[in-house]
Amino acid sequence: MTMANSSNQTSVIDSLRKEFKRIHEFRELILPFTHSAHIRRHRAKIIASRVGLMSLLFSLVIPLWIGIDYFAFSWPTWAILAVLRIVSAIVFFVLYILHSSCKTLPNAYLLLGGMMAIPPVFYLISQPFLMNVETNAFGAAVVSAYALLPFIVVAGLSVFPLTALEVLFTGSGIMVVVMLGAAQQAAFQLQDFITTIWLMVLVIGVSIFSGMSQLHYMISLINQASKDLLTGAFTRRSGEEYLDLQFRIASRTEVPFSILFMDVDNFKSVNDEFGHEQGDMVLKQVAERLQRCLRRSDQLIRWGGEEFVILLPNTSAEYIKPILNRLSEITLGKRPDGRPITISIGISELSLDRCEDWIEMVEKADHRMYEAKKSGRNKSVGPKPDLNLENIIAA
């Protein structure tokens, strides 16, 4: 009866965990501040690269429209529009030059905002010159094309991996531009105004859906490439990138940073006695239990085989002991023979170890982990005596 209750509790916990995961995945598509640093870094690269490509394209194409303005409008209207186009092309080309140096998401936002601001500004400045211009049927068609500029900008958002909130914020700003443009019209028609706003709402809706789809696809690809398929932890390659980033941030801002290097005790005997499939189940179980002990800012990395590394940003030595205590409280599960799974842990802390780079930090933690194994396993060895704990996992 007890085993049945335990099984039911485990099933309920697993179901709740899956439900929370689905909710979190949906929130990632709605709100930009729910993304991990890993996702933000890759999203910044993609946004910057697409801004660069589109800016280069616009800087080449926009001046070509001067010929159309020349045949559609008389002097000085076409000349004024030509100046606006040349200035716009120059700004687009500057954005193209800047995109390669954009490394962070805030900078990518600035780059995207700059690119998206050019057509609406062009639209507002050109509107007074085009409202009362006398032209033929060809010129009237060109004027109608100018009125579509804000809609083209909002539609352009669909090529970027953006959250719903980001597209809505940008689209709302452009809608204000459309309203200002309509207010400048000499013959204001309420019906036309409502139709225009309704069309803008539809275009924003399509862009939101497209941006969310691109973001979901991007996150899926990044997770597949950066996560270990068996354990769900970061792979060593992606983990090293995050390690390097966190080390540089901690060194530059002088905030604490700690590393736990873990090795599953006697794991080889599991593979030898029960097979690799059971060994995989043990590793998966260990990774799931370790994830429960971590904060949102912490990262679990499968370093290789049965070795795991936990990154603890903004964590000094005195806050590591509570994390080790949480490990002992939840346990790491059972081996196939029913004995508890135990681990040996090596600890390094940036300020205490005075490491020159993250590689040295990992080496110190790795060395201490082997010290823990040599002294009997199921222990931790750290840079301070009070972190040298025995029987981390209750036998």
More confident residue, 357 or 16: 357
Strand-pairing partners, residue 309, are 261, 301
Mean local confidence (pLDDT), 65-77: 87
Pairing type for strands 380-381 and 299-304 reads unpaired
Q: Tokens for 390?
A: 């025995």
Query: CA–CA separation, 392 vs 370, rounded Å?
Result: 15
* Percent of the chain topping pLDDT 70: 92
Q: How far is CA 153 from the centre of its chain?
A: 24
Per-residue confidence (pLDDT) for residue 370, from 0 to 100:
93
Per-residue confidence (pLDDT) for residue 3, from 0 to 100:
39
170 and 220 Cβ atoms separated by less than 8 Å: no
pLDDT grade for 2, boundaries at 50, 70 and 90: very low
pLDDT grade for 153, boundaries at 50, 70 and 90: confident
Cβ partners under 8 Å of residue 17, min gap 6: none
**pLDDT tens column, 99-118:** 998 888 999 999 999 999 99
Per-residue confidence (pLDDT) for residue 7, from 0 to 100:
45
**pLDDT tens column, 326-344:** 887 778 888 888 888 999 9
Rg of the chain's alpha carbons, rounded to an integer?
Answer: 29
343 and 393 Cβ atoms separated by less than 8 Å: yes
**pLDDT tens column, 205-251:** 999 999 999 999 998 888 888 889 899 899 998 899 889 989 999 99
Per-residue confidence (pLDDT) for residue 1, from 0 to 100:
42
Q: Strand, helix or coil at 49? A: helix
Pairing type for strands 307-313 and 257-264 reads antiparallel
What CATH number should be reported for the domain whose range is 228-387? 3.30.70.270
Q: Strand, helix or coil at 134? A: coil
Mean local confidence (pLDDT), 3-27: 58
Statement: the pTM of the whole predicted model exceeds 0.85: no
Q: Tokens for 187?
A: 């013959």
Per-residue confidence (pLDDT) for residue 19, from 0 to 100:
57
Query: CA–CA separation, 27 vs 33, rounded Å?
Result: 9
Domain boundary assignment for the chain: 31-223, 228-387
Cβ partners under 8 Å of residue 133, min gap 6: 73, 74, 77, 139, 143
Burial of 310 (0-12, 13-18, 19+ CB in 10 A): buried
297 and 275 Cβ atoms separated by less than 8 Å: no
